[in-house]
A and B are shown apart, each in its own frame.
Chain A
Amino acid sequence: MKPLRIALAQLAPRLGLLDDNLARHREVLAEARAGGAGLVVFPELGLTGYQLQDLAAEVAMRVDDQRLLGLAAEAVGLSAIVSFVEEATDHRLFISAALLEDGAVRFVHRKLFLPTYGLFDERRFFAAGDTLRTVQSRLGVRLGLAVCEDFWHLAVPETLALDGAQILVNVSSSPGRDLAAIHEVGLGTATSWRTLMRTYAQLTTSFVVFCNRVGMDETISFWGGSEVIAPSGESLFTAPLFDEGLHYVDVELGDVRRERIGLPLLRDERPELHLRELRRILAERTEMAIAAASEAPEERSAPSTRAEPSTDELERS
């Protein structure tokens, strides 16, 4: 089987300059095609930049936007994953990643988890997606798409793998921070991400493709370090930190089968057990919430004003 050549487009998008970024995507797409790539992966919000705030609505595109379709039309003979602000028909804005294939938008994943803490403020500007599906690619594999923070929730890689994904693709705009010297490559963020990606690849026995942007938006530096991890958890390629570049990585899709035969973790997953226990946990949480709600007034009120009379009082009445 011919190896799949994955091209990681570790770009520095220009904030709010949709047309510039579209042009850059087209250039890179052409370059990757000439380089023999089967799949080109662009970073999260590569078409718009990340720190958009109120600009988000100004650079949003519907999935049938001519500019997006124009880019898709160039995805012929290779597949591309691009990311942009998607405006839904009801005008909610999503951070989306789209698979472009055969000249069309084949699939769209809307970012599920919007970090709104620390330096992040995504929930203020965006709506969270609510479906998690894999997609059969023309490449002969099922792809699972995720956007940045989606990978900080265990259920995402697990669900994608159970749904048949053989390649998990995470597109990111991960801000570099925590420069303590104790960290691998001097960046706390990089250490955490690398740990996650190796773990997910190994536990799901899938390829993990991570494309993280570089450059700066306002005060934030994005650290790059895009990677491809084999189903064994072994890192096949790590891009340099902070530098723009188009990097090719050849992967043997047969490695997925080999790994899953040798290490049948996915076969041994117990989704029914997981589901049962999740149902129980949710039920208990609901009960806890109900109990908390009914206990609360009692805690606040004096003993003489109990909501229900005691047995004693009932007997006397």
Chain B
Amino acid sequence: MASGTVSEPRGGEGADRLFELPPELAIDTDVARRVMVGFIRNQLRQAGFGRALLGLSGGIDSALVAFLAAEAVGPDNLLCVLMPYRTSSPASAYHAGLVVDRLGCARDLVDISSVVDGYFGRDGEPGGGGESALDAAPLRRGNFMARARMCVLYDRSVAWGGLVVGTGNKTEALIGYTTLFGDSACAFNPIGDLYKSQVRQVAAAVGVPEEIIRKPPSADLWPGQTDEIEAGFSYPELDRLLFWMIDKRRTDEELLGMGFPAGEIARVKRLVAVSEFKRQVPPVAKLGPRTTGVDYLYPRRRPGSAAR
């Protein structure tokens, strides 16, 4: 594992730059790493667990979380679950393998093709989802895959005796580029307050293989899909806009004055607003004198809350 030195933000010019890092997003990677590793340990300890598992996609987010989790609990206590679908990119499996080999943690391979095809059907043969599911749009199939992976992870979590560590970043959570109860489902998430650009910065600092950091991010829910084409933004540009809009509370006029295009501001604001529901616990109608989440407010982890 890489030593705990602060990596120089490599956001400048030069053909060899590993990733683009807007200067305002640069963080102290030592501090970030320290906090996230401590967070994983603490969450597990308070829940009475010593082991963790996560879905390893081959992308940078889950690779970073795998590195952090391995540091937190030791590779012997970490299970990385690879869950390809038959159309998943072979590069994804290769990159996931790189991470597992580097960390020396346990690996599980679960092909979700039969689960997904069992519902949507295949080659004109309907599955459990019936005739109409045969022509389901990629969005439906993608969401189903994300939720199938969640089912596998939570099942494996019982067998492994560990908690599911989340791998979603702040950028995708803010614009709602996640599947509710799918890839966003987890026991806790160490990187959920890092923008994608910051994920790259920390990943470089902790030693995630460069080819994983370099490749275009993709949900890999259908061949050739990439986040940036689908969203219509580059991550550095989107991260900067979200950072100034949300973290730094800039108004639309101020954002315009900073050079962000009006159309982009409006679109991102809309994405953030319409995905508010994905970031919150489902609301409960207030009826009784004391309602969970409203006026029954306890720490998630408190005396007696550990499973064992």
Contacts and interface: CB of A to CB of B under 8 A. Distances in A.
B27 A216 contact: no
A185 B301 contact: no
Interface in A187-226: 187, 215-219, 221
Given A181-B9, A221-B35, A221-B39, A54 B28 contact: no
Nearest to A176: B35
B30 interface: yes
B302 interface: yes
B31 interface: yes
B303 interface: yes
Contacts of B300: 218
A95 B268 CA distance: 41
Contact of B26 (A176, A181, A242): A181
B18 to A, nearest CB: 16
A94 B32 CA distance: 33
B25 to A, nearest CB: 8
Contacts of B298: 53-55
B251 interface: no
Chain B residues touching A, range? 20 to 34
A186 interface: yes
Contacts of A183: 28
B297 interface: yes
A186 B30 contact: yes
Contact of B299 (A55, A181, A215): A55
Contacts of A16: 299, 302-303
Given A16-B303, A17-B303, A215-B42, A186 B297 contact: no
B31 A15 contact: no
A179 interface: yes
Interface string A25-45: 000000000000000000000
Contacts of B27: 179-181, 186
Interface of B: 6, 9, 24, 26-28, 30-32, 34-35, 38-39, 42, 46, 296-303
Interface of A: 15-17, 51-55, 176, 179-183, 185-187, 215-219, 221, 241-242
Given A180-B28, A242-B38, 11 more contacts: A15-B301, A15-B303, A55-B298, A55-B299, A179-B31, A186-B32, A187-B31, A215-B38, A218-B299, A218-B300, A221-B35
